Structure 1
Amino acid sequence: MQLSSSPANGATLITVNATRIDAAAAIQFRDSMRDLTADGAGDIIMDLSQVTFVDSSGLGAIVGAMKQLGSGRHMHLAGLTPDVDKVFRLTRMDTVFAIHRSVADATPRAAG
C-alpha cells in the first residue's frame, strides 16, 4: 500500500496512492498509517481521491487508523470518489468522520 505524507498547514496530509483499500491491502494500510501518524501531532487529512473501491476490511482499517490517533486528534477524509462516498454513507461512517469535497476544503486555514 503506497501512502505519502506531507505537512498541510498545521495538519498532516496523507495521500493514498492506490485505487483499492480492500482485504488484500487492509493490514498493510493499517501498518503504514500507524508508521506515518505515530510521531505526529495535530489532525490528519486523508486524501482518498485516487481510491475507487473500499470493502468492509478497508473500512475497518480506516476506522482503526482513526482510533490509533488517540484523543485530541481527528481524521478528516477528503476527495471521496462516488463509490467510496456511497460506502461511507451506507454504513453511516459519514457521521463518524469529517468528510470534505477536496483536500483544499479540509486543510486548516492560516490564522490571519
Structure 2
Amino acid sequence: MDLTATAHGALLVISICENRIDAASAIQFKERMREVTQTPSDRVLLDLSQVQFLDSSGLGAVVGVMKLLGADRKLELSGLTPTVAKVFRLTRMDSVFTIHPTLPDGLRKAS
C-alpha cells in the first residue's frame, strides 16, 4: 500500500496513493497506517482524493485506524471522491468522522 506522510506541526497528513481500498488491500492499509502514524501528532488527516473505490472492508480498515489512534488522536478525512463519499453517507460514518472537501491550501502537494 503506497502512502505518503508529512508532518505539519501537530498535524500528520497521510495521502493514499492507491485507487482502491478493498478486501484485498484493507489489511495492508491498516498495517501501513500503523507504521506511518508512529510519528507523534494530535491530529491525522487522511487524504482520500486518489481513492476511487472503497468497499466495506476498506471502510472497516479506516474505522480500525481511528480506533488504533486512540481517543487522544483525531482521524479526519479529506478529498472523498463521489463514490467513496457515498459509502460514508450510506453507512452514516460521515457523522463519525470530520470530513473536509479538500486538503487545506497550505497542505496541498505542489503539482
Q: How high is the TM-score relative to the length of structure 1?
A: 0.90
| Residues 5-84 of structure 1 mapped to structure 2, 5 A cutoff | 5-84=5-84
Structure 2: unaligned runs, 5 residues or longer? none
Deviation digits for residues 45-89 of structure 1, max 9, x if unmatched? 000000000000000000000100012110110000000000000
Given that 2:20 and 2:53 are in contact with CA atoms closer than 8 Å, whether structure 1 keeps it comes out as: yes
Evaluate the alpha carbon distance shift between residue 19 and residue 83 of structure 1 in structure 2; reply closer, same or farther with a 3 A threshold: same
The one-letter code sitting in structure 2 at the alignment partner of 1:95 is S
Cα distance between partner residues in 2 of 1:9 and 1:101? 21
CA deviations on 1:10-44 (whole Å, 9 max, x unpaired) are 20000000000000000000000001113422100
| Corresponding letter in the other structure for 1:102 | T
Q: Distance in 1 between matches of 2:71 and 2:39?
A: 14
- Cα distance in 2 for partners of 1:93, 1:25 equals 20
Identity %: 52
- Aligned-partner Cα distance in 2 for 1:31–1:5: 14
RMSD: 1.3
Question: More relative contact order in 1 or in 2 (CA 8 Å, sep 6+)?
Answer: 1
Counterparts of 2:6 and 2:67, CA distance in 1: 21
- After TM superposition, the runs of 4+ consecutive aligned structure 1 residues lying more than 2 A away are none
Structure 2 residue matching 1:68: 3-state secondary structure: helix
Q: What is the one-letter code of the residue matched to 1:8? A: H
Q: How many residues align?
A: 106
Counterparts of 1:78 and 1:8 in 2: how far apart (Å)?
16
Unaligned runs of 5+ in 1: 108-112
Helix, strand or coil at the partner of 1:23: coil
